[in-house]
A and B are shown apart, each in its own frame.
Chain A
């Protein structure tokens, strides 16, 4: 045990060190090309007047710094165009920074493009060699690994068929199978796992999990549960700058979610019911005011919804349903008056207050929608009187990051032996 600890100590050196990294890009193609020609020339002259922006340029990456040790995984998140891929390209040595410095130790592997160098006319087996060569394997290494690759990809049956007849999933399998043979010290991953069927995706994640232990990983993704699972450091980027950087992964993810102010809504219904106002109240019946763009609620506390409706006389019986939608647009919970045995028939100005005893949604951001439906005599759903897909965005706090949208709280007791 002692020995192992020592081993970890010595291998725990900093593998990736990024200091004040900046990169500028140009918005306009023609100008960009012209700057390219100028850069080609100034490159040769070795000039260094580059901290300033020229017209039509912007900072795609600005003053980014971090360190990464072996065994650590940095989740690199941010909205589209935040500079994640540019940063990854600099780390991969594809483009040079305009300012700052990157120091990388060891072999760098990149899971950015799977199946690079494939030629569609050639067979899968031939393409293993093409792809492997581009990824930096020697002929000997590929010879030794080709069987393992075919097995990993699970396409032995089709390995001597031209790759153009492969399905896109099969191509990705083969590409990943080759890339998975890398044993890098630093691994860059850019959202390549979004393809392939579920079984293969699991296999990929498992392989990455294996690599994680001995590798410094930089993981770019838009899938926050995956980031929460894999990363132990976080860098949230916005317009090239760092917004959050450090060990608090859940804070980074929270801030990422908050950066999407979801104001899109669908409002509809047949117009017989009008939604006047809606409030979310805490246990002391005080309204929780939306200050940050989110109504902040604490996990497992009691909350009430108070809705004011204008109900037409033609309306018969109706029920009210609140739905909770997570960031992946998945409906994760309902608060439905029917299930609470509440059907209403009052007309005119109506206020309905409903209470949830324990808000057990997990940490994160949810959109709340509401709908008021006609109840037919057989208690089935009739017309939609009114709905609004986004009456509030709530942010659940008071519980640390979990992957599940629901976090139960309950009593836990150790049972005596004779009880069991």
Chain B
């Protein structure tokens, strides 16, 4: 039987294709480890709590309630959303929370494995995949919640709704891609994480999460250029049957994110040894 041979040395010639292949192999090959880690975290999380999964919605729901109150009390005047405002704001905050979590997940799961990263050699990609599993779990529950909301408000369900899970997956894909780029640096400096969460809380207000794109003004320009806008808009609109005016921008983003994801995976793979030796 031929033995597998590993060679460790300073890589002077970087071979992108080879690294990507190894990375993809590890993503696929570490399925069991990723599942085990995800199950471990989910089980442990709910075994120690009474409200369990409820906590996943508390943040987005509170934001939604605040905005429903602001809007219904007339404190802020918002442009017409085309659908019942509560549905608009709930779907917005929940989709936003999925996207935000997707961005944070690679960092969070890599960070939580800090202790074993420097002790045991296992496919690091499993950490990212396990984060994805956890994300899919909480997202699927959010999806059910949204559907219930739709029924409560007697929204008509169009056939487009079948694309909703796909759109959510796409949002997770793009979020994870962004997260993978951030992870290595934020593993080195704690500042990065704080900066990202601060930044995201501002970006939320130039994304049509809790209010629609205004008809004119600087806000309109910002929102139209913001690459997160089409993600939120298209995902919400396939659910509520709204207009798909951003679909071209959206498709461009998706197509662009595929090669970027490859770069992100290679970047992550290359960076882990450096992080292990520094932290």
Query: Chain A interface (Cβ within 8 Å of chain B)?
Result: 15, 25, 32-33, 35-37, 39-40, 43-44, 46-48, 50, 89-108, 110, 112-113, 116-117, 119, 121-122, 126, 129-130, 133-136, 138-139, 185
Please report which residues of chain B, range 212-267, place their CB below 8 angstroms from some CB of chain A when the two chains form the complex.
267
Cα distance A116–B119 when bound, in Å? 9
Taking the closest CB of chain B, its distance from the CB of A116, in whole angstroms, is 4
| Interchain CB contact (< 8 A) of B3 among A106, A112, A130 | A106
| Interchain CB contact (< 8 A) of A94 among B10, B33, B117 | B117
Cα distance A106–B1 when bound, in Å? 10
Q: Tell me the number of A-to-B contacts counted with CB atoms below 8 Å.
A: 144
Residue of A nearest to B118 (CB): A94
Taking the closest CB of chain A, its distance from the CB of B35, in whole angstroms, is 8
Residue of B nearest to A29 (CB): B278
Q: Closest 7 interchain pairs by CB?
A: A113-B119, A46-B14, A133-B36, A106-B3, A48-B12, A36-B278, A101-B9
Cβ contact within 8 Å between A40 and B271: yes
The verdict on B48 contacting chain A, using a C-beta distance below 8 Å, is yes
Cβ contact within 8 Å between B120 and A134: yes
Chain B hits for A90, CB < 8 A: 8
Number of interface residues of B (CB under 8 A): 43
Cβ contact within 8 Å between B40 and A126: yes
| Interchain CB contact (< 8 A) of B278 among A32, A94, A116, A121 | A32
Cβ contact within 8 Å between B267 and A44: yes
Cβ contact within 8 Å between B32 and A133: yes
The verdict on B43 contacting chain A, using a C-beta distance below 8 Å, is yes
Chain A hits for B129, CB < 8 A: none
The verdict on B52 contacting chain A, using a C-beta distance below 8 Å, is no
| Interchain CB contact (< 8 A) of A108 among B9, B41, B121 | B121
Cβ contact within 8 Å between B8 and A93: yes
Given contacts A36-B188, A106-B3, contact A94 B276 (CB under 8 A): yes
Q: List 17 A-B contacts (CB under 8 A).
A: A15-B3, A33-B189, A36-B274, A36-B277, A37-B185, A40-B188, A95-B274, A105-B3, A108-B121, A110-B119, A112-B119, A116-B115, A116-B119, A122-B43, A122-B44, A133-B32, A134-B116
Cα distance A122–B45 when bound, in Å? 10
The verdict on B154 contacting chain A, using a C-beta distance below 8 Å, is no
Taking the closest CB of chain B, its distance from the CB of A40, in whole angstroms, is 5
| Interchain CB contact (< 8 A) of A103 among B6, B13, B44 | B6
Given contacts A40-B185, A46-B12, A50-B10, contact A133 B4 (CB under 8 A): no
Taking the closest CB of chain A, its distance from the CB of B189, in whole angstroms, is 6
Cβ contact within 8 Å between A94 and B37: no
Cβ contact within 8 Å between B7 and A102: yes
Chain A hits for B276, CB < 8 A: 89, 94-95
Given contacts A48-B12, A102-B9, contact A95 B33 (CB under 8 A): no
0/1 string, B41-56, CB within 8 A of A gives 1: 1011001100000000
The verdict on B122 contacting chain A, using a C-beta distance below 8 Å, is yes
0/1 string, B10-42, CB within 8 A of A gives 1: 111110000000000000000011001100110
Cβ contact within 8 Å between A104 and B278: no
Cα distance A230–B232 when bound, in Å? 62
Cβ contact within 8 Å between A97 and B9: yes
Cβ contact within 8 Å between A101 and B7: yes
Chain A hits for B40, CB < 8 A: 117, 119, 122, 126, 130
Cα distance A98–B11 when bound, in Å? 9
Chain B hits for A116, CB < 8 A: 115-116, 119-120
Cα distance A179–B44 when bound, in Å? 23
The verdict on B84 contacting chain A, using a C-beta distance below 8 Å, is no
Cα distance A92–B43 when bound, in Å? 31
Given contacts A103-B5, A105-B4, A133-B36, contact A43 B10 (CB under 8 A): no
Cα distance A47–B10 when bound, in Å? 10
Cβ contact within 8 Å between A121 and B48: yes
Cα distance A363–B44 when bound, in Å? 54
Given contacts A33-B189, A95-B277, contact A106 B184 (CB under 8 A): no
Cβ contact within 8 Å between B9 and A44: no
Chain A hits for B118, CB < 8 A: 89, 94
| Interchain CB contact (< 8 A) of A40 among B6, B7, B274 | B274
The verdict on B83 contacting chain A, using a C-beta distance below 8 Å, is no
Taking the closest CB of chain B, its distance from the CB of A304, in whole angstroms, is 53
| Interchain CB contact (< 8 A) of B8 among A48, A97, A134 | A97
Chain A hits for B3, CB < 8 A: 15, 105-107, 185
Residue of B nearest to A23 (CB): B277
Taking the closest CB of chain A, its distance from the CB of B129, in whole angstroms, is 12
Chain A hits for B48, CB < 8 A: 121
Given contacts A94-B117, A110-B121, contact A102 B44 (CB under 8 A): no
The verdict on B149 contacting chain A, using a C-beta distance below 8 Å, is no
Chain A hits for B12, CB < 8 A: 46-48
Taking the closest CB of chain B, its distance from the CB of A97, in whole angstroms, is 6
Cβ contact within 8 Å between B44 and A25: no
Cβ contact within 8 Å between B273 and A94: yes
Cβ contact within 8 Å between A103 and B7: yes
Cα distance A139–B104 when bound, in Å? 29
Taking the closest CB of chain A, its distance from the CB of B145, in whole angstroms, is 26
Excluding A43-B11, A110-B120, 13 further A-B contacts by CB distance (< 8 Å) are A25-B277, A40-B188, A44-B270, A47-B12, A89-B118, A96-B274, A97-B10, A108-B6, A119-B43, A129-B36, A130-B37, A130-B40, A133-B32
Taking the closest CB of chain A, its distance from the CB of B210, in whole angstroms, is 36
Cβ contact within 8 Å between A139 and B32: yes
Cα distance A93–B272 when bound, in Å? 11
